[in-house]
Structure formats: C-alpha cells, structure tokens
Structure 1
Amino acid sequence: MKKDIQTKREREKAMVSEMIALYCRKRHGRKASGGLCPECAALDTYARQRSDTCPFMETKTFCSNCKVHCYKPEMRERIRAVMRFSGPRMLFHHPVAALRHVVATKKEKKRLEKVS
C-alpha cells in the first residue's frame, strides 16, 4: 500500500512538472532544454513540496477535488492558470497521461454521485 501511494505521489509530481514546463515553453518562450523561467521554477518547486506533504494522497484523485487547499492563494491562482492552459494541450503532448486523467475524473465523478 505504501509503495502505491509513493508511486501515485511521484506520478502526480511528474505530471505537474510536465504541465508547468509546457506552460513555460508556450507562454514564456523557454526552450525545452533551457529549463524553466524563475517564476515557473518556483511554482514547480512549490507544487512538488505540496505533493510531498499531502496527507490525503491515498484517497484523493486531484488537488482540485480536495476539500483542504494547501496552496497559498497566489500559488493556487498560478497553478490554476497552468492547468487551464496545459490541460487541453496534454492530449497532444502526453496522450496516455491525459486519457488516464479523464478516466480518473469520470470515476471520481461517479463515486461522488453515489455518496451524495
């Protein structure tokens, strides 16, 4: 069980980093090999720290579905902008991960409907 949580945590961190990198490349003109701009690098570090300390990793699907928002308001708005921009584009850049996200979202929606 512990290994599954760690795998989930690492997958989430990798996906958030990919989304931030895509955002930075397209919005800030950074080259893929050039790394992130300082603003996006700070957001990536912050998001990874939040994921490392998330006590709900075992049961949550995505941060957006969490009842407890651990991001500072400024960082939360920044990550939302990244998600809005990168989310739809992930289908072209990382199709398997994008489809996994859609399936997980549908499952969570059904689970929440049963609970309500």
Structure 2
Amino acid sequence: MSGKRISREKETISKMIALYETQCPQASRDPGHYQALNAYADKRLDKCVFGEEKPACKQCPVHCYQPAKREEMKQVMRWAGPRMLWRHPILTVRHLIDDRRPVPELPEKCRPNNKA
C-alpha cells in the first residue's frame, strides 16, 4: 500500500506519459508500450527503498530503473515536464517542491557490506 507521496508521484508520472504519448510527434510507438512503461514506473515506486521519504528520482543514489527504461523516462520527462505546468499546474508545483527535498540516508538494508 502506498502513501500520499508515492500516490502523487504515480499520478504525476502517469500524466507525463499520457501527455507525451498524445502530444509528442516522436511518440510513434503503440499505446501498449506507454501503458507498460507506466506500469513499470508504478512498480518501481511501490518498491522504492526510501518509501514516503524518497528523493526525486534524478537525485536518488539507488537507480532502480533498467538503463534503457531510465533513458526513455528521462526523455518523457524532458519533453512533458515544461508542458505539465500548463496542463497540471498543482502537480507540477508539488513535484518541483519535492525535487528540492534533501536526499535521505540510504536505508541499512541497501548499504553494501564494508567488511574487508
């Protein structure tokens, strides 16, 4: 079960992907591709090691996306981000505020063992 912050992140990502899919001329893939990308992002958010204290993904020390999907998501966000201000201003402002949150310390379960 996800909290308010994770739910808001999911909604923001969903809106960004939908905007990119419908408006971007380069988004010539089938609609199922973007539904799968959105489902992948939701799954990654559900499994975030930071939970409700998560930093913005671009500042996160744990890269939980596969490299190809991470690059694709960056492309979606780069294109949709500036346009989100006009379509979904409240979500955009809240996302920008969340982006300024400090990066929390890595949870104990994710730290590498420093045994020599």
TM-score strictly above 0.5: yes
Please tell me whether residue 84 in structure 1 is matched to residue 72 in structure 2.
no
Matching residue within 11, 14, 35 for 1:14: 11
TM-score scaled by length of structure 1 = 0.76
| C-alpha distance in structure 2 between counterparts of 1:40 and 1:18, whole Å | 11
Query: Counterpart of 2:46 in structure 1: which amino acid?
Result: D
Please tell me whether residue 25 in structure 1 is matched to residue 26 in structure 2.
no
Query: Counterpart of 2:19 in structure 1: which amino acid?
Result: L
| RMSD (CA atoms) | 2.2
2:35 alignment partner in structure 1: 41
- Where does structure 2 lack aligned partners over 5 or more consecutive residues? 104-116
SS of the counterpart of 2:33? Answer: helix
TM-score scaled by length of structure 2 = 0.76
Report how far residue 103 of structure 1 moved. Answer: 2.7
| C-alpha distance in structure 1 between counterparts of 2:91 and 2:57, whole Å | 16
- Where does structure 1 lack aligned partners over 5 or more consecutive residues? 30-35
Report how far residue 61 of structure 1 moved. Answer: 2.7
- Percent sequence identity over aligned pairs: 40
Please tell me whether residue 100 in structure 1 is matched to residue 94 in structure 2.
yes
Report how far residue 55 of structure 1 moved. Answer: 1.3
1:65 alignment partner in structure 2: 59
| C-alpha distance in structure 1 between counterparts of 2:94 and 2:52, whole Å | 17
Aligned residues: 101
Q: Is the 8 A contact 2:6 2:52 kept in 1?
A: no
1:33 alignment partner in structure 2: none
2:50 alignment partner in structure 1: 56
**Which stretch shifts more, 12-21 or 58-67?**
58-67
